[in-house]
Structure 1
């Protein structure tokens, strides 16, 4: 039987990926498709943690740019990630996958507080753990949350799921027809070239802790499994060696 290449995975889902073609909110068809794909890989023995963004509901940077206090806008964004996490939990549990949502901001009526050892124990028992509300601090992105949680739980890889693009390009492929797709990069190349794969804090965390990153298109069904089982898809970002 084929074995997965990565046994403990952090999947980073953007809020926009959950919105599907409608561009805002949560598309039930998209979220249930993700749930079905995750069920398939979890049944193969993969330990799965998920970090979800909130851009389909609210973006703190956008609110700040329009005059809102940055910290307040970021806290609102954290609440948006909780909404997405609960929707994803519902989709997974409708597929029979046991799931726990852990939040960096306490809201015990709807989710557990984030506790590293408890999260690891859930993973060892075959439960999916969804990390919500970012790091619990303003000014930090959910990309940084994914890097931080991956380091804390000693994940083998971060899968960065994108919609509309299938990897990292030298420029925005929707605007530049000459943009070149990279099959592999180092974190230092990402930082030096300003490629915008993750913010610099997240990239530095991954580089310092030697956590590989796979950037791929989630719109194509089955890509989560392909990435976990080691097929060459998207762009792989590694340390400098």
Structure 2
């Protein structure tokens, strides 16, 4: 069932993306707050991009909902940055967990590392631990904010600042950092003394579940450490389906 998004047509999306072309992420966030609050939420895995957005929102609208997907297999360093964020910005972080029965069945029937057997098995694990909880997190919002950037991966080169998320009731998906480079992200973090996950200093530019993330080697792509046994074209977990101006298929 589609929900009202406040965006009336594909033409409106095109116009918005033209309007935001070259605009700073704070401009996009200000529009998102004015248009959708309080039914607006930031999805955060507490990587560098998400920390930039949390810092920006703390200055624009501190009451913006922040949620995270606790898969049960996160790094200790990720829990540490979550707690430091809670204390630094005085915010409540809404954690969404996978369903107990689904995780128990997954581990009993498929084992503890089934995600390494095939792309299909890995995507099944992601559906249980990430995709289903995300669906619950988005049930009562009209728009959600992500830290996606085009530069991050081959699967993300076509994203826009504002998209319709057809997989979640056609709510609006907002990517304020879409045009930023990695160097811009880290320049902001340094300038504003933003907390960051300690794993970034250990060679982890992209951080997910502990068994599925490794440090990258010099010269490797920033997403090379995610599901490193797969091809770059398959490296999505299902959280970010191809949106845009219409209803497209899954990116994977």
Tell me whether the two structures share a fold, i.e. TM-score over 0.5. no
Give the shorter-chain TM-score range: 0.3 to 0.5
Whose strand fraction is larger, Structure 1's or Structure 2's?
1
Identify the structure with the greater helix proportion. Answer: 2
Query: Please, what TM-score do these two structures have when normalized by structure 1?
Result: 0.40
